[in-house]
Structure 1
Amino acid sequence: MRNIYFVRHSIQDLSVQDDASAPLTKAGNVLAKELTRLFINKSITAIYSSPYARAFQTVLPTAEKLDLIIDTHADLRERQAIWRLDWQEHLANLWQDFELKADGEESFADVERRIVPAFQQIYDDTEGDIIITGHGTALSVLFHHLTHGQFTFSDWQNMNMPDVYIGHFSDENVLVGLEKIAR
């Protein structure tokens, strides 16, 4: 049995307009430091992160405590999206049709086509228990894929910043359980 810990980033500073470079807020940094307690007694062999600042900063205290390097992977980034006033309604529609997208944004199918192979590559290139840090929508699309559709829009709505999920994988690389663990 192998465990993969999926970490959704902590609270981002929304005053920074560039999505990729937006850092964590002070409260977000405090929560990121608190996450280290979840991993200190685990046998973590590697840490992977989206290249976005908020994801990297979320796992940095854990990496420092465990004396591990954070490997960034571009395909773990968040879904390219355009802010809309009807954002929640639009996301609900995207969950109904993974090919749906507005001009200038990625569909959920686009995200799935990049994040699933990225996850598979990370899984195949590592051994033991690892941490993968990313974003709510991108991780949700991955979870939806891994659970054969059991992870849904309502599960996405219940995600926190930060949040930690543990995926239990069999020796045959099959997900046998996905659970949200307390942060």
Structure 2
Amino acid sequence: MTTIYMVRHAESPYTEGTERTRGLTAEGKKKAQEVTKALMTEGINGIVSSPYSRAILTLEELARILKLEIKIYEDLRERQFAGENVYISDDGFMPALQRSFSEPDFSLPGGESNKECQLRAVAVLETILEQFKGMNIALGTHGNIMTLMMNYFDSNYGFDFLTQTRKPDIYKLQIENHKLKEVTRLKIM
């Protein structure tokens, strides 16, 4: 049995144009410490992450304490919703996001569909499952891509699931022979 701890990053200040580099808010930094506490006793053997700073920073203290290197996978980055020059209003974002779950091939101009994003992320997840077979892995991730990876195993993980997740959040996925056996949400104080 391989266990993947999907760790959705802690709260990050949203600033236009800084997807890759934005860090954590003061509250996000406190919550990242709670992520460390929640995972300290889980027997983590490896840590992998999206290349985005907020995902890495959420797991950085855990990696330091456990003396583990965070292995970065570019294809674990968050879904590209639209091209850089495409404006999405606050009122238009949630309907577009919801549509992307009901129509997996839908994408905004310059953006990536859920299907495209899921294919690239699951390819990395399959590699991780092989490389770390029988181990416990913390995976630093984002809401949409986390949902899509979980959806690959179980279609019940969709838009409604995504909208109820928190920042941060931890889902413990127990996977055997590339089949999802159990999902448990870990409590963060």
Q: TM-score when scaled to structure 2?
A: 0.92
Partner residue of 1:142 out of 126, 144, 149: 149
Provide the C-alpha distance between the structure 2 equivalents of 1:22 and 1:158, rounded to a whole number of angstroms.
Answer: 23
- Structure 1 position 173, deviation (Å): 2.9
1:20 to 2:20 alignment: yes
User: Amino acid of the residue matched to residue 175 of structure 1?
Assistant: L
Show the 5 A alignment for 1:79-90: 79-82=79-82, 84-85=88-89, 86-90=92-96
Provide the C-alpha distance between the structure 2 equivalents of 1:179 and 1:104, rounded to a whole number of angstroms.
Answer: 35
SS in structure 2 at match of 1:115: helix
SS in structure 2 at match of 1:166: strand
User: Amino acid of the residue matched to residue 174 of structure 2?
Assistant: H
SS in structure 1 at match of 2:45: strand
Identical amino acids, percent of aligned pairs: 25
Partner residue of 1:177 out of 152, 176, 182: 182
- Say how many residue pairs are matched: 181
1:38 to 2:44 alignment: no
SS in structure 2 at match of 1:35: helix
Provide the C-alpha distance between the structure 2 equivalents of 1:101 and 1:41, rounded to a whole number of angstroms.
Answer: 40
What per-residue deviation string (whole Å, max 9, x for no partner) do you get for residues 16-47 of structure 1? 63101111111111110111111111211100
SS in structure 2 at match of 1:4: strand
Q: TM-score when scaled to structure 1?
A: 0.95
Provide the C-alpha distance between the structure 2 equivalents of 1:26 and 1:69, rounded to a whole number of angstroms.
Answer: 24
Q: CA RMSD in A?
A: 1.2
Provide the C-alpha distance between the structure 2 equivalents of 1:68 and 1:29, rounded to a whole number of angstroms.
Answer: 20
> Is the Cα–Cα contact under 8 Å of residues 16 and 22 in structure 1 kept in the other structure?
no
Provide the C-alpha distance between the structure 1 equivalents of 2:3 and 2:132, rounded to a whole number of angstroms.
Answer: 12
Q: Which piece of structure 1 moves more, 5-14 or 35-44?
A: 35-44
SS in structure 2 at match of 1:65: helix
Segments of 5+ residues of structure 2 without an aligned counterpart are: none
Q: Which piece of structure 1 moves more, 95-104 or 172-181?
A: 172-181
Show the 5 A alignment for 1:105-116: 105-116=111-122
1:99 to 2:105 alignment: yes
Runs of 4+ with deviation above 6 angstroms? none
